Amino acid sequence: MEIINKYKYFYNVKKEAAFTENKCQFCGSKEDCLEGIYFNQDNIDSVCLRCFAEKKAGVDIPDYIQKRIKYDPNKKIQELKYTPPIPWVQYNDWQVCCDDYMKYIGEWEQEEFIKVSENESKNEIEFFREMLNGDTLKKVDDINVLWEDLGYDTVAYVFKCSICGKRTVVCQSY
């Protein structure tokens, strides 16, 4: 399906979005249906990517996420609203850089951080620490404990700025 990877703010929908076997509540299709719980709306159970692309449903973008954008916020918020939701463990924490929403790259475990850090000739734990967003970093008492928990009780959501290339990680735990 051509609409799978056309999103400005989501790199690989087919791999990283949360899909369900439930049929689309708009057209009845069972093909590529997004899990409704991540839309943050009580009335969404399942929506296929085709109906989503037709804007029959959108993701509720919390005010605190909307307020992160200063220039031309309405256009960017609308774009994010019609981007498939990330399967957050706790709450929506979509990152911003260069006054635009960052592109969601996916959930990384230690292996991905090790591979990318080797390509950049860096220690993987320091590389991971450098990528952590400020709010996550403030909560970390011991980076090694967080590192060891990746892939177990902690999920690392990786974002990349489409303008400057900066990568940011948000960690959430079950």
pLDDT tens-digit profile, the chain (174 residues): 455 558 999 999 999 999 999 999 999 999 999 999 999 888 899 999 999 999 999 999 999 999 999 999 999 999 999 999 999 999 999 999 999 999 999 999 999 999 999 998 899 999 999 999 999 999 999 999 999 999 999 999 999 999 999 999 999 998
**What residue segments make up the domains of the chain, in order of their start?**
1-87, 96-174
CA distance 89 to 76: 24
Q: Where are the alpha helices (DSSP H) in the chain?
A: 13-16, 49-53, 63-66, 73-81, 110-119, 124-131, 134-139, 143-149
Q: Strand, helix or coil at 38? A: helix
